[in-house]
Amino acid sequence: MAATIGAVWLLMLAVNAPVLTKYAVTVDAGTGTPGCGVDSELAAKQLYASFFAFAYLIPLCIIGICSVSILRHITRHRGSSLI
């Protein structure tokens, strides 16, 4: 159980690595207020691409594969008709 939890933590850390590396502290020149922002436009595009892949595209593919597998299983194992 502890190994599974550790594996999930490591997987989530790896998936969120782009977020951890692309954000930086920025200081507003006018007010001097610190804030959190993305380093550059390229970093923003890379961050958007990683969110798109890991939060939408990969789960969509997994759901599609599971749905097709369920459908194939159901069609192969039809019950006998009693009529």
For the entire predicted model, the pTM comes to: 0.59
Lowest mean pLDDT among 17-21, 34-38, 41-45: 17-21
User: If you count them, how many residues does the chain have?
Assistant: 83
Lowest mean pLDDT among 4-8, 23-27, 33-37, 57-61: 23-27
Exposure string for 30-55, b = 16+ CB within 10 A, e = fewer: eeeeeeeebeeeebeebbeebeeeee
Backbone angles phi, psi at 3, to 5 degrees: -65, -40
Domain ranges of the chain: 2-76
The CA distance from 48 to 1, in Å, is 33
pLDDT tens digits for range 5-27: 999 899 888 888 877 788 888 88
